[in-house]
């Protein structure tokens, strides 16, 4: 547990006396960053006590620093998952919350208790998701996001409710804003020239696509992770990527069909294959052959640096499980 002495830097510098420091500590530092139901993230807790509070639900720990950097107008506090609600509510009640406090859920993951708490307290509810140009490499690698969507109405993938994006597309007069249209066209030109997508990688451009033009027409099926919220809230019925492939083949039997897996799906398949091979080799790893076997695996799989790190982590996990 951190103490008052080694956390003196944490307190606002406009406090003039030690008594004020202690008062501030008693008010906030009972919620240590690593203990209890709340996780205080960001410099605004240190330097600007006047900013409103944003309470965030449903965010894994690796993502919190990144998200906090997008919410510079707030002091951000994250609620740890799987904590008794009474404990969470008691700690939240001790914070200096006001009418400017907002509740921010990830996607559609905000619990009913959190929604009820927000409505009872009169706090606005926002939703956040990854932006449309997210990062180099998939989010499954815990890569830094370069864009986030903060929606104050709903969220863009939810077809059952309106969203800020939907309202903009329906109500904005784009044609009369020449500067905006010019900027948009310039942005599209850059995206196409650089082959940018939601998850993009410079190395992806080194590999040729299997797509080939012939006499038949072609259909591209863009895969999504099975069970993703965009399927749950964006489709009229529950579907899997395999259902899309079967439906495309049934409706267009003469077409050449190409399936593009979601990058996180490719990642999961890689991890499953890699972990299976590791489990077959684990007995030999304890016979002093770890170095050569890992080197052989790195070469045969042509692993990238981030994949080698993942391989090392898998070995450590196997070591603990065995």
Looking at the structure, tell me whether residues 68 and 134 fall in a common domain: yes
Please give the pLDDT value at position 317.
63
Residue 46: CB atoms within 10 Å? 15
Could you tell me which residues are beta bridge partners of residue 86? none
- What pLDDT does residue 299 have? 56
Q: Tell me what pLDDT residue 137 has.
A: 78
Which 3-state string (H, E, C) describes the chain?
Answer: CCCCHHHHHHCCCCCCCHHHHHHHHHHHCCCCCCCCCEEEECCHHHHCCCCCEEEEECCCHHHHHHHHHHCCCCEEEEECCCCCHHHHHHHHHCCCCCCCCEEEEECCCCCHHHHHHHHHHCCEEEEEEECCCCEECCHHHCCCCCCEEEECCCCCCCCCCCCHHHHHHHHCCCCCCHHHHHHHHHHHHHHHHHCCCCEECHHHHHCCCCCCCCCCCEEEEECCCCCCHHHHHHCCCCCCHHHHHHHHHHHCCCCEEEEECCHHHHHHHHHHHHHHHHHHHHHHHHHHHHHHHHHHHHHHHCCCHHHHHHHHHHHHHHHHHC
Q: Based on the domain organization, do 40 and 148 belong to the same domain? A: yes
pLDDT of residue 298: 56
37 and 103 in a single domain? The answer is: yes
Q: Is residue 100 part of a domain?
A: yes
Q: Given this model, what pLDDT does residue 13 score?
A: 44
How many domains does the structure of the chain reveal?
A: 4
Q: Does one domain contain both 50 and 148?
A: yes
Q: Is residue 110 part of a domain?
A: yes
Determine phi and psi for 259, rounding to 5 degrees.
-115, 125
The contacts of residue 87 (CB under 8 Å, 6+ apart) are 36, 37
Specify the pLDDT at position 307: 63
Domain stop point among 181, 201, 221? 201
Question: Both 92 and 152 in a single domain?
Answer: yes
The reply to whether the predicted model has a pTM over 0.75 is no
Cα 183-184-185 angle, rounded to 5 deg = 90
Same domain, yes or no: 237 and 315: no
Same-domain pairing of 62 and 84:
yes
Does 55 share its domain with 177?
no
Q: Please give the chain's pLDDT, 322 residues, in tens.
A: 333 333 334 444 444 454 554 455 545 554 445 447 899 998 888 776 789 999 999 999 999 999 999 999 999 999 998 888 889 988 898 888 999 999 999 999 899 999 999 999 999 999 999 999 998 877 777 889 999 999 999 999 999 999 999 999 999 999 899 999 999 999 999 998 888 888 777 665 555 556 666 677 888 888 888 778 888 888 888 888 788 888 888 998 888 888 777 777 766 655 655 555 555 544 444 444 444 445 555 555 566 676 666 666 666 665 555 4
- 19 falls within a domain: no
pLDDT of residue 217: 80
Residue 26 in domain:
no
> Does residue 1 fall inside a structural domain?
no
Residues 237 and 290 in one domain: no
Per the domain annotation, does 67 fall within a domain?
A: yes
Q: Are residues 147 and 163 in the same domain?
A: yes
Rg of the chain's alpha carbons, rounded to an integer? 25
- 11 found inside a domain: no
- Please give the residue range of the domain that contains residue 129: 31-171
- The pLDDT score that the predictor gives to residue 113 is 92
- Same domain? 186 vs 232: no
Examine residue 269 and state whether it is found in any structural domain, yes or no. yes
pLDDT given for residue 302 in this prediction: 61
Same domain, 86 and 165: yes
Residue with tokens 């939240």: 92
């Amino acid at each position: 547990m951190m103490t008052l002495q080694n956390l003196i830097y944490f307190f606002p510098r406009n406090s003039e006396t030690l008594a004020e420091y202690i008062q501030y500590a008693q008010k906030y530092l009972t919620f240590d960053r690593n203990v209890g139901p709340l996780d205080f993230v960001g410099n605004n807790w240190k330097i600007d006590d006047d900013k409103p509070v944003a309470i965030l639900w449903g965010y894994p720990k690796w993502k919190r620093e990144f998200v906090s950097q997008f919410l510079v107008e707030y002091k951000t506090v994250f609620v740890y998952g799987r904590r008794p609600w009474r404990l969470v509510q008691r700690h939240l009640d001790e914070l200096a919350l006001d009418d400017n406090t907002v509740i921010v859920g990830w996607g559609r993951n905000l619990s009913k208790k959190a929604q009820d708490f927000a409505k009872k307290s009169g706090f606005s509810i926002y939703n956040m998701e990854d932006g449309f140009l997210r990062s180099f490499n998939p989010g499954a690698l815990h890569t830094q996001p370069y864009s986030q969507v903060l929606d104050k109405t709903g969220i863009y993938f939810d077809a059952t409710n309106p969203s800020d994006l939907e309202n903009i597309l329906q109500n904005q007069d784009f044609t009369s804003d020449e500067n905006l249209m010019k900027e948009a066209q310039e942005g599209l030109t850059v995206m196409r020239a650089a082959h940018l997508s939601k998850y993009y990688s410079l190395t992806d451009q080194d590999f040729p696509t299997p797509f080939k033009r012939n006499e038949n027409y072609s259909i591209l099926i863009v895969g999504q992770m099975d069970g993703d919220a965009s399927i749950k809230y964006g489709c009229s019925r529950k579907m899997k990527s395999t259902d899309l492939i079967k439906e495309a083949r049934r409706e267009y039997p003469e077409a050449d069909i190409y399936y593009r897996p979601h990058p996180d799906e490719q990642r999961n398949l890689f991890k499953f294959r890699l972990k299976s091979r590791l489990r077959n080799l684990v007995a030999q790893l304890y016979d002093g052959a770890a170095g050569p076997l890992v080197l052989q695996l790195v070469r045969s799989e042509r692993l990238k640096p981030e994949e080698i790190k993942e391989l090392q982590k898998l070995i450590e996990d196997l070591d603990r499980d065995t």
